[in-house]
Every structure is written in C-alpha cells, then in structure tokens.
Amino acid sequence: MSQPVLVLTRPLPVPPLTANGQAVEVRQFRGDQAVFAQAQVLLSTVMDPVDARLIDALPASIRLIANVGVGLDNIDLRAAAARGIAVSNTPVVTEDTADLAFLLILASARRLYSSESMVRSGRWNSTDMTVNLGTTVQGKTLGVVGFGAIGQAVARRARACNMAIAYHGPRPKPEAAAAVDAIYYPQLTAMLAAADIVTLHCPLSPATRHLIDAQTLAAMKPGAILVNTGRGALVDERALIDALHSGHLSGAGLDVFEREPTVPPQLLAMDNVTLTPHMGSATRECRGAMFDCALQNAIACFEGRPLLTPVDPG
C-alpha cells in the first residue's frame, strides 16, 4: 500500500496524521508540479486558486481537493469533475460568520467606527447630543440575499432584535422561513426596495458576480445599509462607492472585497463604512473546526471511506 501524501497550497498547522496505520507525508506546493508525485489529496484554502490549469496538471493519483472554507469559488469544479477528482468543503462556519455579519449590521446602523474614532482622536464633545446619530435596528426590515445556513442564522439574530425578515434566493424555503417569519421575494429588486438593511450570503458564481451593481443599489431604500460577509465580487465596488458618496446609502459593513487584500482608498476614507479583513470564521474554535474537518475528509479519502462533507460538482 502506497504512503498517504497530502499536499498543502500554503503553510497550515497540520498535526501528525495517520491513515491505514501509516504516517501521512505532508508537502507544500510552491509552484513545482513534482510535489504532487504519488499524492492523493490536495488541501487548499479559499484564498488559493485551484483553477483548470492546475487541476489538469495534477497526476492521476490525486483523488480529492479538500477545501478549508465553505465557499468554492476558488476551485474550478467542472475541471475537477472532468478529472474524477472529488471536492470537499468545511461547512462549520455558520454561527461565527453569522455573528460577524450581525456585528457589522449593528456597527453600521449605530455608526460604531466613526464613534470610536471620535473618542480615540479626542474629538468627543459630551455636551452635543446631535452628533454621530445612528439608526435603531428595532422594528426595521432585514433583507437577506441567500437564505442558506448562514443567512438563516443571521435572520435568527435579527429576530431577537425585533427585526422583520425578507429574503431572496433561487427558490422559497417555507420551513426555514416560517421559523423566523420571513417573507420570500422572488425578485431581488423588490426585496431590496423593502429592506432597511441588506445582508449578502449567496455563493459567488458567474451569475452572482456584481449581483449588487448600480441598478440594484438604486433599487434599495434611500438611507439603507449594505452588509457583505459573502464574497467581495458579489458587489460592484465602484457602484457601491458612488451610492455611499451620493448619500443614497447611509452606510456599509464589509468583510470581503473584490481584490483582497486591496481595499479601495475611497472606502478606507469613509467614516460610515465598517471594514474587517475577511474574518467571518476567525475564531480559534471555528478555524480549528475547519482544519479538523478538512483533515478528516483527507483521512477518509486515504482510507477509502465516504467523505464527511462532499461537494456536489453540479
């Protein structure tokens, strides 16, 4: 029986592993295809492109691409399927990502960044009660674009703050919607027009790239807030900047960007925009669970067992 070999796309804290009673050899890919010789598993992160060119160059020994993350826009799934290579992800990020999304909702509504900056810079005037007023989330409508596990978890948090829930996606989800009294909008623009705050949780695909553009931003309520913890390219950043500059949107909370780690300087300069560095899963517990899930998928592949979290290539 050949030794199990795991190839990493970047340095990761992989503990000693065994499969079928053998130690797993761990290698790192640095551009040299020779590293894949006799390897069975490629372990990638959402920050590392695994495109058709790389997949086509993989040897026949590779049986699995184990992705550390839920989103799969970094992997060419069609190319993997054409080669008969399985793909797995780590759907263990729901609650922590939902926490961050709701943090950005509250931070944007209550102007947390500009308020904190005022205190740190010594500009706080405790006698002026009209400065830096935000808006309450109580009784407001949250529009959820993408009503999967994370979108539903954000909706539960919003209901705890007495928010009404509207949602848009490819199809209605009556059972999940009933749990949070959510109303389904088959048309995105209609949902945007009904929401005071919009939060994005759909996967990135050719169909959803720049889903939020000048036209859809114009459909949002004047003074609305946009929050994105999904993928940066869901939003046309130029159009978002224009909507913020014009005052059509009152604020935004962004954890993801089109060209990470680069953030447009216009967004950096705005005090009504809260920015975080793609950290939806950035807790010790969540990151540990993600690595463990990916490694358990790898071991299952080495041992010929069913994957824990396989991805449908379709």
**Domain membership of residue 24 as a residue range:** 5-92+284-302
User: Are residues 149 and 243 both part of a single domain?
Assistant: yes
CATH number of the domain residue 253 falls in: 3.40.50.720
| 311 falls within a domain | no
| 307 falls within a domain | no
User: Per-residue pLDDT for the chain (314 aa), expressed as one digit of tens each?
Assistant: 689 999 999 999 899 999 999 999 999 999 999 999 999 999 999 999 999 999 999 999 999 999 999 999 999 999 999 999 999 999 999 999 999 999 999 999 999 999 999 999 999 988 888 989 999 999 999 999 999 999 999 999 999 999 999 999 999 999 999 999 999 999 999 999 999 999 999 999 999 999 999 999 999 999 999 999 999 999 999 999 999 999 999 999 999 999 999 999 999 999 999 999 999 999 999 999 999 999 999 999 999 999 999 999 76
| 47 falls within a domain | yes
User: Are residues 168 and 245 both part of a single domain?
Assistant: yes
The number of folded domains in the chain is 2
pTM, to two decimals = 0.95
Q: Which residues are catalytic?
A: 231, 260, 278
Task: Give the position of tokens 């390897």.
Answer: 39
